[in-house]
Amino acid sequence: MKFKIRLATLGDIEKIVKIYSEWGKFKGILPDCLTIGDSYDDLIKFFDGTNDSRRYLLAENESNEAIGVCYIDLIFLGYNNIRLGDMMVKEKYRKMGVGGALVDKVIDYAKENNVNKIWLWTQEELKDAIRLYEKKEFVFEGRQKNQFCNKDTLLYGLVAES
């Protein structure tokens, strides 16, 4: 399958909301509060200039259907690190390289901006995601107790070679 990845803009919010609605499929696997995808109102501030701390990356197939998303959290860019946030590929389009390509784009962003550390949170139940991060050489950095929704969170990091 051919697809491309680009920076998302204001007009893409509905498409992103649709992809994140697939968090609902994790009900019974993750705590309920982690299965609620972001809404339009949650996201608008990252696109209308109110909050400039995130860059959303959107993957689209040849029919311009949005099939995957993640964001780069720039809050600690001044301290030389970025966070890869909330990656989701529509179930129908998994295992075709989209998630890997999104991670690669984040790594490219880090290289282009002299960022030497990318980090992320994930959950032990998200085995496909963990396999992907480890394939991309992210390293397990620890278990954060009761981090979100009274549940432990796993911390992963990728440090650029110097």
Applying CB under 6 A, the residues found at the interface with ligand COA are 87-89, 94-100, 122, 126, 128-129, 131-132, 135
Cβ distance to ligand COA smaller for residue 10 or 143: 143
Taking CB positions, which residue lies at the least distance from ligand COA? Answer: 99
Cβ at position 72, least distance to ligand COA in Å: 14
- CB proximity list for 113: less than 8 A, separation 6 or greater: 77, 82
Which of 10, 37 has the CB closer to ligand COA? 37
Helix (H, G, I), strand (E, B) or coil at 95: coil
Minimum Å distance from CB 64 to ligand COA? 18
Nearer to ligand COA, 101 or 159 (CB): 101
Give Cα 78 to chain centroid, integer Å: 20
Minimal distance, residue 6 CB to ligand COA, in Å: 16
Q: Closest approach of Cβ 146 to ligand COA, in Å?
A: 18
Counting DSSP H helices and E strands in the chain, the numbers are: 4, 7
Smaller CB separation from ligand COA, 30 or 159: 30
**CB 103, CB 132: distance < 8 Å:** yes
For residues 92 and 145, which CB has a smaller minimum distance to ligand COA in the complex? Answer: 92
Strands 3-7 and 66-73: unpaired
We find the least distance from the C-beta atom of residue 87 to ligand COA, in angstroms, to be 5
Strands of the 117-122 sheet, one edge to the other: 3-7, 54-61, 66-73, 81-89, 117-122, 151-159, 139-148
**Which residues lie across from 72 on neighbouring strands?**
55, 84
